C-alpha cells in the first residue's frame, strides 16, 4: 500500500525511553506531536512580534480576532471527527480512504455554512469584518482552517505524527515571510488573508501526498458496530461544544468591550496557553491511537500515558509562569503590563485543569467519553 495510508498496528513493548522514541509508538508519536505544538507556538509568537513591529497594534488585534474566530468556528465545523479518526482509523482497513475524503467533504461544507451564518447574523461580525471583501472571504477562511486542522488527527490516526509536525511548522514559518512584503497595506486583511492562503497551499500539498496513488490497503475493516461509533461520536461532539464555546466568545468580548489593542494583548497570552493545552491533547491523541490498535497492551499504555501527562502538566505550568512574561516583555512593555497577570492564572490552570482521560478503547470507550464530557460541563 502507499505510504500515505499506512495503517497503525500495535507495537511490541520497547525497552528504555530512548528506544521508545526511535520507533512509532506512544512516546515517539506524543513527542513528535508535542514538538509540533511547541515549535508552532513559538513561531506563532514570532509571527505576532513581527506583525506588531510592522503593522499598527489595532490592525494586529483585529487580524488576531478574525483568525481566532475563524479557528473556533473551524473547530465546531470539524464535528469532533478528529477524535473518531484517532479512535477508528487504526481499525478502518480498506475503508480508510473513503472515511478520510467523506469527513473532509462534510466538514468543509459545514465550515462554509458556519462562516456564512456568522457573517450574516453573528454577534460582533460588524466590528470584526469591515469590508465586503472581508465578509466574502471569511467563510472561505473558516473552510480552509477546518480542513487544515482535521488533517492533524487524520495523520495521527495513521501514525504519521512526524508529518503533522512538518505540516504545522512549515505553515508557521511560511506565514511569517509575507508580513514585511505586505506591511505597506497596513490592513488586517493582509495578515489574515495571507495566513489563509498559505494554509490552503499547505493543506493541498499534504492531502495530495496523503492520497497519492499507490497499492491499496487490502486489510478488512475491523470497525465496531455502527451504534458504538455513533455513541462515541456523540459524546465527543458534546465535549467539543463545551471546550469551544469559551474560546469563541472571549475574543469577541475583549474586542467589543476593551477594543483592538486589548484584543492583541489577550491573543498573545491565549496563544501561549493554547500551546500548552495542546501538549496534553497530544499525549491523549497518541494514547488513543496506540490503544485502539489490535493487540494493544492497554493497561501498560495507560500507565505510560499518566506519567507523560504529569510531566507535561508541570513543564507547561513552569513555561507559562516563567517564560510567558519574558516573551511578553520581548514583544513590548505594554504587552507585559496588560497580559502578565493572565499568564500567571493560565499557569495555575495548566496544573489543575487535567480532565480525566477516557477509559481505554474498548466496547465501553463511548461510555467513558460521555463521563468525561459530563465532568467538563
- The three state secondary structure string of the chain is CCHHHCCCCCCCCCCCHHHHHCCCCHHHHHHHHHHHHHHHHHHHHHHHHHHHHHCCHHHHHHHHHHHHHHHHHHHHHCCCHHHHHHHHHHHCHHHHHHHHHHHHHHHHHHHHHHHHHHHHHCCCHHHHCCCHHHHHHHHHHHHHHHHHHHHHHHHHHCCCHHHHHHHHHHHHHHCCCHHHHHCCCCCHHHHHHHHHHHHHHHHHHHHHHHCCCCCCCCCCCCCCCHHHHHHHHHHHHHHHHHHHHHHHHHHHHHHHHHCHHHHHHHHHHHHHHHHHHHHHHHHHHHHHHHHHCCCCCHHHHHHHHHHHHHHHHHHHHHHHHHHHHHHHHHHCHHHHHHHHHHHHHHHHHHHHCCCCCCCCCCCCHHHHHHHHHHHHC
Which has the higher per-residue pLDDT, 258 or 293? 258
| 51, 63 contact by CB (below 8 A) | yes
pLDDT of residue 143: 95
Cα-based angle 276, 76, 281 (whole degrees, multiple of 5): 25
Q: Which residue has the higher pLDDT, 44 or 370?
A: 44
pLDDT at 365: 44
C-alpha cell read off for 291:
490503544
Model confidence band, residue 362 (pLDDT cutoffs 50, 70, 90): very low
Q: Which residue has the cell 506591511?
A: 183
In sequence order, which residues have a C-beta less than 8 Å from that of residue 139 and are 6 or more positions away?
111, 112, 114, 115, 116, 119
- Per-residue pLDDT of 70-104, as tens digits, reads 988 998 899 888 888 888 887 777 788 888 999 99
* Residue with grid cell 469551544, as numbered in its chain: 244
Residue written as cell 467589543? 256
Whether 352 shows a pLDDT value over 90: the answer reads: no
The residue-averaged pLDDT of 342-355 equals: 77
Give the span between the Cα atoms of 214 and 209, in whole angstroms. 11
pLDDT given at position 273: 80
What is the predicted pLDDT for the residue at 286? 81
- Please tell me the distance from the alpha carbon of residue 65 to that of residue 192, in angstroms, as a whole number: 10
pLDDT tens digit sequence for 161-183: 888 889 999 999 999 988 888 87
Longest dimension (CA), the chain: 59
Domain spans of the chain, in order of start: 21-376
- Which whole-number Å values give the CA distances from 59 to 18, 128, 179, 186, in the listed order? 46, 11, 13, 7
pTM: 0.72
Between helix 81-88 and helix 226-258 the angle, nearest 10°, is: 140
Confidence of residue 363 (pLDDT cuts 50, 70, 90): very low
pLDDT digits (tens, 9 = 90+) for 300-337: 888 888 888 888 888 888 888 888 888 888 877 888 88
Residue scoring higher pLDDT (241 or 10) = 241
The overall average pLDDT reported for the chain is: 79
pLDDT at 15 over 70: no
Q: What is the Rg, in whole angstroms, of the alpha carbon atoms belonging to the chain?
A: 20
pLDDT surpassing 90 at residue 278: no
Closest CA to 269 of 183, 331, 212, 357: 331
Give the pLDDT confidence of 16-50 residue by residue, as tens digits.
554 555 555 777 788 888 888 888 878 888 888 88
Query: pLDDT tens digit string along 49-64?
Result: 888 888 888 888 888 8
All 3 cell numbers of residue 26? Answer: 506512544
Distance of alpha carbon 269 from alpha carbon 46, whole angstroms: 13
Question: CA 162 to CA 165: how far, in whole Å?
Answer: 5
- CA atoms of 303 and 357, how far apart (whole Å): 12
Amino acid at each position: 500500500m502507499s505510504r500515505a495510508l499506512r495503517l497503525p498496528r500495535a507495537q511490541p513493548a520497547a525497552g528504555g525511553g530512548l528506544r521508545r522514541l526511535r520507533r512509532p509508538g506512544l512516546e515517539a508519536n506524543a513527542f513528535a506531536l508535542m514538538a509540533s505544538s511547541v515549535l508552532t507556538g513559538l513561531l506563532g509568537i514570532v509571527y505576532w512580534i513581527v506583525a506588531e513591529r510592522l503593522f499598527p497594534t489595532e490592525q494586529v488585534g483585529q487580524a488576531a480576532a478574525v483568525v481566532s474566530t475563524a479557528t473556533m468556528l473551524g473547530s465546531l465545523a470539524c464535528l469532533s471527527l478528529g477524535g473518531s479518526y484517532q479512535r477508528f482509523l487504526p481499525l478502518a482497513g480498506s475503508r480508510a480512504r473513503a472515511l478520510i475524503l467523506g469527513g473532509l467533504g462534510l466538514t468543509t461544507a459545514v465550515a462554509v455554512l458556519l462562516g456564512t451564518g456568522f457573517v450574516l447574523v453573528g454577534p460582533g461580525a460588524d466590528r470584526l469584518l469591515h469590508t465586503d471583501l472581508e465578509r466574502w472571504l471569511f467563510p472561505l477562511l473558516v473552510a480552509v482552517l477546518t480542513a487544515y486542522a482535521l488533517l492533524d488527527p487524520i495523520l495521527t490516526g495513521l501514525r504519521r505524527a512526524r508529518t503533522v509536525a512538518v505540516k504545522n511548522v512549515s505553515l508557521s514559518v511560511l506565514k511569517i515571510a509575507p508580513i514585511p512584503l505586505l506591511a505597506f497595506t497596513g490592513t488586517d486583511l493582509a495578515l489574515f488573508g495571507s495566513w489563509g492562503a498559505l494554509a490552503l497551499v499547505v493543506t493541498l500539498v499534504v492531502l495530495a501526498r496523503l492520497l497519492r496513488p499507490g497499492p491499496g490497503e487490502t486489510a478488512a475493516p475491523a470497525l465496531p458496530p455502527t451504534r458504538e461509533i455513533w455513541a462515541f461520536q456523540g459524546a465527543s461532539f458534546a465535549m467539543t461544544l463545551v471546550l469551544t464555546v469559551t474560546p469563541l466568545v472571549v475574543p469577541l468580548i475583549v474586542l467589543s468591550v476593551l477594543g483592538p489593542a486589548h484584543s492583541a494583548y489577550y491573543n498573545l497570552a491565549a496563544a501561549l496557553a493554547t500551546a500548552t493545552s495542546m501538549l496534553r491533547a497530544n499525549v491523549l491523541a497518541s494514547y488513543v491511537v496506540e490503544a485502539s490498535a489490535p493487540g494493544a497492551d492497554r493497561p501498560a499504555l495507560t500507565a505510560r500515558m499518566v506519567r507523560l501527562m504529569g510531566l507535561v502538566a508541570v513543564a507547561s505550568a513552569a513555561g507559562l509562569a516563567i517564560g510567558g512574561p519574558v516573551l511578553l516583555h520581548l514583544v513590548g512593555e505594554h504587552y507585559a503590563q496588560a497580559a502578565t497577570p493572565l499568564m500567571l492564572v493560565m499557569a495555575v490552570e495548566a496544573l489543575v485543569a487535567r480532565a480525566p482521560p477516557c477509559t481505554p478503547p474498548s466496547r465501553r470507550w463511548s461510555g467513558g467519553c460521555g463521563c468525561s464530557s459530563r465532568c467538563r460541563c
